[in-house]
Structure 1
C-alpha cells in the first residue's frame, strides 16, 4: 500500500467515524435487545412467563424445516433477481451512457420505477397477475403455458415468478444507476486503443469495460443482494406467504407480530443478521477487488 493510499484510508476513516458513531448509538440497543431476548422463551401475551432457555430458541429454529424452506426461497429470489437485474441494468447503463439525444428524459424514465414506493408497486403487480382482471393473462395468452385462467398465486413457482418480476421491475433502475457510475469511470482512451487494435465490440466489452468496472459491479451486486435477501414488502402484499412463498424476513415478522413469540422472533432476526454479514463477506471475497488498483494506484 502506498503512502497516498494510507493517507486516504486514514482520511476516510475520520470522515465516516461520526456517521458510524451515530449508527451505533441508534442501532446498538435494538441489536443487543434482540440478542438478549433470543435467549428467553418469551411470549408477549404472557410476559410473566419469561424463562431463560439459552440457545434453545436457535436450536428450535435451525431444526425446523420451515426455516430452511424459507431460507431456500430467500436465496432463490436473491440469486434470480440480482442476476437478471445485473444483466438488464448493465444494458440500461450502456444506453444511458452512450445516448446523446434526450439523455435527461431517457435517464429519468428508466429511473421512474425505483422512485415508486415498494408497497405501491407490489399492489400494481398483484393486480397485473390477477386471474380476474389482470393484464398479464390477456396480453400473454399466446404463450402455451399462459391462458385466461392461469392462477399465478395458486401454486409455488408461478407465485414466486410473480414476486420476482415485481422485484426486478422495481429495483433494476437502482442497479443501472450504480453501474452507470462505474461505466463513467472507464477510460475512453483505453476503449479507443482497443478499437484501433482491431478489437470487436464484444472483445472491448469483455476485455476492457467489464474488468475496469469490477469495483462498481461488486458494489452494485453487494447492495442489491443484501437488499434482496431481506425481501418482505412484495411477499406481504402479493401472497401473504401463501403457496410456500415465505422469506426469512416474513417468517420473522410472522413469529413476532402475528404470534407474539419475541424469543423465537429475536433468534430469527439474529440469524438473519448473521446471514447478511456472511453474504456480504462472501460477495467481497468472490470479487477480489483491489481498491487501490481500482483507483489507478497499482
Structure 2
C-alpha cells in the first residue's frame, strides 16, 4: 500500500511508526484507547454498579433520616423531629468516645500486626520452590476460610477459664496464674480479640502482598545486589517502593474491615470491661434499647469515620493508580 501512496503519505506513515512512546502523537492515541477501554468497562460493570449503589445508598439515607428524629421502637407514636440533637447527645457521651478509642486501638494494632506477619508469609510463599507454593497457599488460607462467628467461638472456648485449654498450655511459664480469667480485664480481653482477628485475616493480607511482590521485577533486586546493597536495603529501596499500591490496598481493605469489628467482641465479651466498639455500641442502642434515632446517629458517625479512613489512606499513600495500571 505504501508503494502506491503519495510520497507525503509514505513519509507520514513512517514518521508515525518511528514516533517515540512519549511523543504527543502517541500519547493522544494511547489516551483514545484508554477512553475506549474505560467506556467498555463502564458498559460491562455499569448494571451491577447501579444495583449495588441502590442497595447501599438506601440504608444510608434511611439511617440519616432516622437519626434526625427522637424515635423509640416501643413508642412509635411519640416520634419527634430533633434535627441534629441526637448527634449532640452522642458526641457528648463519654461511652461513645471510649468506644471510639477501643475501635481505633483495635484497628491500628491489628492492621500493623497483619501487615508485618502478612508480608513475612508473602515472602515465604514468593521465595518457596514451585512444588510447595500450592500447598503453602492452601495451608495459609485455612484460617481465612473459617466463618468469623465460628472462629470467635473457637477462640472464646480456648481462653475461657472453665472450658479453655490455653491456661494449661501456659502453666509452665514461671509466674503465670493457671486460674487467669482472660475475659475479666480490659487488657487481656483486648489481647484475645486482637489475636483472633490477626489469626483469621492475616492470610488475606498475605495474598494481597503476594500479588504486589509478583509485580517487583527480579532484575531490580539483582541490580541492587550487584551494587552492594544489603538485604534490608533491597527491601527498603527496591521491594517496598515497587509494591506500594498493593500495600495501600491491603491497608485500606483491612482498616475499613477492622474499624467495623463486631462479631469477635459480641461473642467474647459482649462489650464488657470497656471492650465495646462503635459497631457494638450502635447495635446495643438500636436493638438492645430500641432507640432507633440514637442508634442511627451512631451508625452515621461510624459511616463517616469509615469514609474518612478511606480518603486518608488513599491520600496518605499518594499512589498514582493510573500509572500503576500501565496507562
TMscore range, shorter length: over 0.9
Aligned residue for 2:229, secondary structure, equals coil
Shift of 1:253: 0.4
Residues 127 and 214 of structure 1: CA distance in aligned 2, closer, same or farther (over 3 Å): same
Aligned residue for 1:146, secondary structure, equals coil
Q: Which residue is equivalent to 1:189?
A: 219
What per-residue deviation string (whole Å, max 9, x for no partner) do you get for residues 44-84 of structure 1?
Answer: 01111111111000000000000000000000000000000
Tell me, in whole angstroms, the C-alpha distance in 1 between the residues paired with 2:44 and 2:238: 33
Q: Which residue is equivalent to 2:19?
A: none
Tell me, in whole angstroms, the C-alpha distance in 2 between the residues paired with 1:10 and 1:106: 39
TM-score normalized with structure 1 length:
0.95
Q: Which has the larger radius of gyration?
A: 2
Q: Give the CA RMSD over aligned residues.
A: 1.7
Shift of 1:29: 1.7
The correspondence for 2:60, drawn from 11, 27, 31, is: 31
What per-residue deviation string (whole Å, max 9, x for no partner) do you get for residues 144-199 of structure 1?
Answer: 56321111100111101110001000100011011111111111111122122222
Shift of 1:37: 0.5
Aligned residue for 1:240, secondary structure, equals coil
Tell me, in whole angstroms, the C-alpha distance in 2 between the residues paired with 1:231 and 1:26: 22
Q: Which runs of 5+ in 2 are unaligned?
A: 1-21
TM-score normalized with structure 2 length:
0.86
What per-residue deviation string (whole Å, max 9, x for no partner) do you get for residues 134-153 of structure 1?
Answer: 22222223445632111110
Tell me, in whole angstroms, the C-alpha distance in 1 between the residues paired with 2:112 and 2:248: 12
Tell me, in whole angstroms, the C-alpha distance in 2 between the residues paired with 1:261 and 1:69: 20
Q: Which residue is equivalent to 2:260?
A: 230
Tell me, in whole angstroms, the C-alpha distance in 1 between the residues paired with 2:112 and 2:126: 21
Q: Which residue is equivalent to 1:54?
A: 83
What per-residue deviation string (whole Å, max 9, x for no partner) do you get for residues 211-263 of structure 1?
Answer: 00000000000000000000000001111111110000000000111111110
Count residues in correspondence.
297
Aligned residue for 1:203, secondary structure, equals helix
Q: Which 4+ residue blocks in structure 1 deviate beyond 6 angstroms?
A: none
Q: Which runs of 5+ in 1 are unaligned?
A: none
Q: Which residue is equivalent to 1:243?
A: 273
Tell me, in whole angstroms, the C-alpha distance in 1 between the residues paired with 2:174 and 2:260: 34
The correspondence for 1:41, drawn from 70, 76, 85, is: 70
Q: Which residue is equivalent to 1:67?
A: 96
Deviates more, 1:21-30 or 1:178-187: 21-30
The correspondence for 1:140, drawn from 166, 170, 190, is: 170
The correspondence for 2:307, drawn from 263, 277, 280, is: 277
Tell me, in whole angstroms, the C-alpha distance in 2 between the residues paired with 1:211 and 1:270: 36
Tell me, in whole angstroms, the C-alpha distance in 2 between the residues paired with 1:31 and 1:16: 22
